[in-house]
Amino acid sequence: MKARLFLFVLTGVTACAAGGAARAQEKTAIGISYQNLAFPYVAALQKAAENACKALDVNCIETDAVNDTNKEIANVESMLSKGISCLAFEAASLDASVASIEAANKKSVPVVQFNGKASGGQYVTFIGSEQTDSGVKLGTYLAGLYKQLSKPKLRGIYLRGVAGQVTDIARNDGMKNYLQSAGLAEKIDFTEQYADYDRGKAQSVTESLLTKDRNYDFIVANNDDMILGALQVVRQFNLVGKIHMSGVDGLPETLAAIKSGALDATVFQDPEGQGGGGVWGCYLTLKHVNLPKELLIPFTLVTKANVDQFVAIADRVYVK
Amino acid sequence: MIRQDDLRARSPSLPLPSAAVLRDYGIYLALLALIAFFSARIPEFRTWDNALLIVLQVSVIGIIAIGMTFTIITAGIDLSVGSLLAVAGIMSGLFAQRPETPLTATLAFTVPILLGLLGGAVNGAIVAFAGVNPLIATLGSLTAYRGFIVWFRVNPIYGLQPYYGVVGQGQVFGLPMPVLILVLLAIAGWVILSFTRFGRYVYAVGGNREAARAAGINVALVTFAVYVISGFCVGVAALVFTSRLMAAQAISGQGFELQAIAAAVIGGASLFGGRGRISNTIVGALIMGVLFNGFVMLDVPQPIQQMFIGVIIVFAVWLDAALRRRRH
């Protein structure tokens, strides 16, 4: 069984000693490769990573793969030639990103993976979240809704991300397996459509579905952008409160909508733990601290009851 | 250019006129066939509300496609439309987010249009005056505009003031505002292309650049102008898009260029220039909109939808070319 370690516990323990020691030495260079900084979540990872670089007083060289694995390996090779001591790596692709890790392996530069993990190559540790866990949390939300509405059967819309994409499949599997194990697979009906994680597409899909039939109990989406697009339609159709809604991510906009009661929930994934964790993982590796192969940061279901504690984290990393 | 009337006069007994009719109006028949198919299968599809929804859903791509048709007729292309939409949308959103004053409201509505015009003018200047191939020039600006806006503001802009929703969600005489804007721009585009000297110049430049130049047409100026028109359409589309979503994002508009080009090409516009009609482009956009709406209502998965649209694009171009070969 995978050990679930909370990164902040580890980092908290080592923070005081490490911070002082770092300043005493010459600045270490850590290379960071991001998947695509055009996504707000990845930009939040960057913000968290930069905060960690500052806190640890290390020199961080950052690059953006823009979802292109050719660019990714070119970036990594360029950072390696600049003499980085460790590579914090967010894989852009499951298989095609292996080449970048292997490039670092050849130069004996340790690799710490965060958020997105590639399928091969030698790495010290992976700091991120198990994406099926976010699906499980969505399933938990639906199970709670089933209880709350006390209807014999629930009907809902499930907005999927990009067809065939790893995270989308993991979230779908996590949610449906959970509902199966909870004995709810037959009690909850889904109308599924892919909307490419895109707000505008989710808006169009939801418009068409609700024009056909407004008798849905819920809408869930594999990311927050899509649930926010759907929310816009639900508002226009005056169905806020009648259709229960949840996404995944924990964008500040979603948290605000949960606070106002327009959305029921979201599944929070922690950019601070993941982005900061990549830099911390590198730092501790260079300090010869032995890290486990996986440092998993759990997803959390955010509802009106606990939303306030997540607003603070979101405000720290989703600024600008 | 051979006209349908000439063909009729020359060979009234041959099946050529019907081929010509099919070429010119086949796309309308295709649209009607799709509407009939979905209407027969889905009762909710054949409602007035759903008809309006389909036009509403194609309004953004339709508006962009009007400008795209102008560039395509000159044998050009504008790949930067999606990125420029994101730039104009974010800048508009920044003002729409602020407390409502006459100044912020005016800026929220005018800045996207001005930025569209500016972005179009930059594209136009590079293509028309610097002589860079339009595919390369607008591929460059696609990347540059997107890079700029992601750098400028990666996180979404939300919490826009309620007044701002009037463009995307307002109604006039029961018609959604975006539908009205699409219709007005389409009529304007049609009038410009069909009844003005500039419109004739646009076709002339695309038909034969050298001949147009020899005829005294300022080819560079006409070319510049079509990119400015495309930028203007993008600015309006950005306003509609942002107001419909009540949020602006740096990643908005990705792939819109391909959808707009597809609408024009399904509508029979030639990528080699000299040929294209605004009305057909709108029908091209409607075909994609009907397919999307009908498929979603039938629970057809998106990958299958994409496959169908791809097949239709190739089929439309093939049919057009085949009918043309038959005529000549």
- Interchain CB distance below 8 Å, A229 and B251: no
Q: How far apart are CA A212 and CA A315, in angstroms?
A: 39
Higher confidence at residue A5 or residue A256? Answer: A256
- What angle, 0 to 180 degrees and rounded to 10, lies between the N-to-C axes of helices A199-212 and B278-297? 70
The interface predicted TM-score of the complex, written ipTM, equals 0.87
pLDDT at B242 over 70: yes
Q: How far apart are CA A177 and CA A182, in angstroms?
A: 9
Hunting for tokens 């099919």 — which residue is that? Answer: B22
Looking at residues B266-291, what average pLDDT do you find? 94
Sheet with A294-296, strands from edge to edge, namely A59-64, A29-34, A86-89, A111-114, A125-128, A294-296
Residue-range domain boundaries for chain B: 58-287
Residue of B nearest to A44 (CA): B155
- Interchain CB distance below 8 Å, A208 and B296: yes
> How high does pLDDT run on average in chain A?
90
Task: Write down all domains in chain A, each with its CATH number in brackets.
Answer: 7-129+270-297 (3.40.50.2300), 131-268 (3.40.50.2300)
What burial class does residue B308 get, using C-beta atoms within 10 Å of its C-beta: 0-12 exposed, 13-18 middle, 19+ buried?
Answer: middle
Looking at residues A58-84, what average pLDDT do you find? 94
Please tell me if residue B59 touches chain A, with a CB cutoff of 8 Å: no
Please tell me if residue A43 touches chain B, with a CB cutoff of 8 Å: yes
Looking at residues A13-21, what average pLDDT do you find? 43
**pLDDT confidence tier of residue B20, bands split at 50, 70 and 90:** low
User: What integer pLDDT is reported at residue A2 of this predicted model?
Assistant: 39
User: What integer pLDDT is reported at residue B19 of this predicted model?
Assistant: 65
Return residues 139-198 of A near B (CB < 8 Å): 163, 191-196, 198
Q: Which pair of tokens denotes residue A50? A: 């930069």
User: What integer pLDDT is reported at residue A8 of this predicted model?
Assistant: 42
pLDDT digits (tens, 9 = 90+) for B205-224: 999 999 999 999 999 999 99
Q: How far apart are CA B247 and CA B13, in angstroms?
A: 59
- The whole-model pTM stands at 0.86
**pLDDT confidence tier of residue A305, bands split at 50, 70 and 90:** very high
Nearest to B154 among A196, A228, A320 (CB): A320
Which of B322, B321, B326, B315 shows the shortest CA–CA distance to B34? B315
Looking at residues A22-47, what average pLDDT do you find? 82
User: What integer pLDDT is reported at residue A95 of this predicted model?
Assistant: 87
pLDDT digits (tens, 9 = 90+) for B36-93: 999 999 999 999 999 999 999 999 999 999 999 999 999 999 999 999 999 999 999 9
